[in-house]
Chains A and B, each alone.
Chain A
């Protein structure tokens, strides 16, 4: 599997991580090495494998719709780098995702 600088840059963007040019180049080699290892999954015959699995019955395992005590707004934002009136605060956001 060959990885390009562009691939790494795209992944970095998806990951919300920044890398220097040197780190990016390093990642190309690292990812290639890891993917070479990962290639082992192609040795196994999976043609008969069905990923759907029987699991649980919704009737018995799900949560009853009962209200539980919430935390206070102060507790919710206690670890926040910035907060205002019980709300988390970030710089103004522009476009909607």
Chain B
């Protein structure tokens, strides 16, 4: 375990200075994966391919060639990101044997930057869930306390980074699926502005809300990863052409003179004592560090969850209709005709939560209900979006808890989907408003479980989030 405790930025320096090779790192990662396999963080691993690629990068580096910003670093993709020739299961029985015929843009950007993709991370089936208990391949465990959930849906992506199985991972976030597990596992995760990272090749849950983002152990690592994956894409019309800055450029500039907004709606009575205390301390720290704390108002915040359930389920119902047993995935064994084939394949292939969302989605889209639900929700979304824009005019970013509580026990909420949905109350509004938000550790609760704080930024202003987050992280390094 010589190198796995280094951060991504540190390990790149060691690689570049020849103190370690990519192959050594890959080997160490796989040793660690084996040791910690009870976490169930990964759905598939590629040791041989990773060693081969690491060897190629080591050789290229030895020849003095440019091996890219991530040259030789082992990384993990969430199992809903296509990577040519690998299985992409979305943790669904339906796609158990699906082998990607193409590569997602974010994965090819990582590859082109020299990253070595070593595995695909477990997740909630089709990214639907907040605990990673909805995986067809078993729940993922929280590496901090294995009796607890790692959060979801990118639970495997957060777990694999927290457990030091790799140096960084990619997750996807539709209503908090990067930030909530980052918070529960004590790592850094960003949900970039909608459109900042291409969605091409990422299996869609809710197309208008989904974003890809990195999970890392430090803020700088995260900025480096976003530097690589962000940007426009000919294959995704929703990927923005807004120029991508260097997210590391201003990261050390501190918070002096910045305004940080606090909305009372984020500090409701649902917040646990330890989380509230940690957040108040963080706000106090920022004040001391020279930031100005301003009060803002987000009056419709508590309706965001309702909006989210209508829009995300509607889009999911349509997005998941292609899983019909005809072109790929499982096909039921006994069926009377093609219609029966659809019914049986989908019924057997999808898990409970996925079916629940499909049913809700079709309800809100169906004839007679569309205006009352879908169209109404789209309108409320616009109201929420405007409120965020107004609030963010008064400050550089907003601060909030990432989740109301720390990681809960496996099975604790699995019987109560409404309680589970409430886990996302602070993260969901961010997706509804399409703004970026980062979650980073801000202390521990009485049981030693990580607490996460969320910084919410203006559209395409991830740079400020990294700067504000990095200031806090740098000052609190010793606390870890």
Contact = CB atoms under 8 A, between A and B. Distances in A.
A86 to B, nearest CB: 13
Contact of A30 (B302, B326, B356, B376): B356
A33 B99 contact: no
B337 A17 contact: no
A37 B304 CA distance: 11
Chain B's interface: helix, strand, loop or mixed, by majority? helix
Contacts of B302: 40
Contacts of A67: none
Contacts, number: 130
Nearest to A37: B306
B335 A38 contact: no
B185 interface: no
B380 A44 contact: yes
A35 B417 CA distance: 13
A4 to B, nearest CB: 12
B377 interface: yes
A2 interface: no
Contacts of A15: 317, 346, 355, 358-359, 362
A2 to B, nearest CB: 13
A16 interface: yes
Given A17-B343, A17-B350, A38-B310, A44 B363 contact: no
B335 to A, nearest CB: 7
How big is the A interface, by class?
Answer: 35 or more
A63 B331 CA distance: 35
Nearest to B359: A11
Given A15-B362, A17-B359, A46 B376 contact: yes
A5 interface: no
B338 A37 contact: no
A44 B309 contact: no
Contact of B383 (A39, A44, A75, A81): A44
Contacts of B303: 40-41, 43-44
A79 B101 contact: yes
Contacts of A92: 337-338
Contacts of B383: 44-46, 49
A44 B301 CA distance: 10
B380 A78 contact: no
Contacts of A90: 326, 338, 341
B101 A81 contact: no
B27 interface: no
B47 interface: no
B187 to A, nearest CB: 30
Nearest to B330: A81
A27 B363 CA distance: 12
A87 B289 CA distance: 64
B440 to A, nearest CB: 29
A91 B342 contact: no
Most buried by B among A14, A15, A49, A51: A15
B281 interface: no
A32 B364 CA distance: 13
A46 to B, nearest CB: 4
Interface of A: 7-8, 10-12, 14-19, 27, 30-31, 33-35, 37-46, 49, 51, 61, 63, 71, 75-82, 88, 90-94
Given A31-B359, A34-B417, A91-B337, 13 more contacts: A8-B359, A15-B317, A15-B355, A18-B343, A38-B309, A41-B377, A43-B303, A46-B376, A71-B102, A79-B99, A79-B329, A80-B327, A88-B327
16 contacts: A10-B366, A16-B343, A16-B346, A18-B347, A30-B356, A37-B418, A40-B306, A41-B310, A51-B378, A79-B98, A79-B328, A79-B329, A81-B331, A90-B341, A91-B338, A93-B337
Interface of B: 97-99, 101-102, 234, 237, 300, 302-303, 305-307, 309-310, 317, 321, 324-331, 335, 337-338, 341-344, 346-347, 350, 355-356, 358-360, 362-364, 366, 373, 375-380, 382-383, 417-418, 421
Q: Which 8 pairs show the lowest CB-CB distances between chains A and B?
A: A79-B328, A81-B331, A46-B379, A40-B306, A49-B379, A16-B342, A18-B347, A40-B303
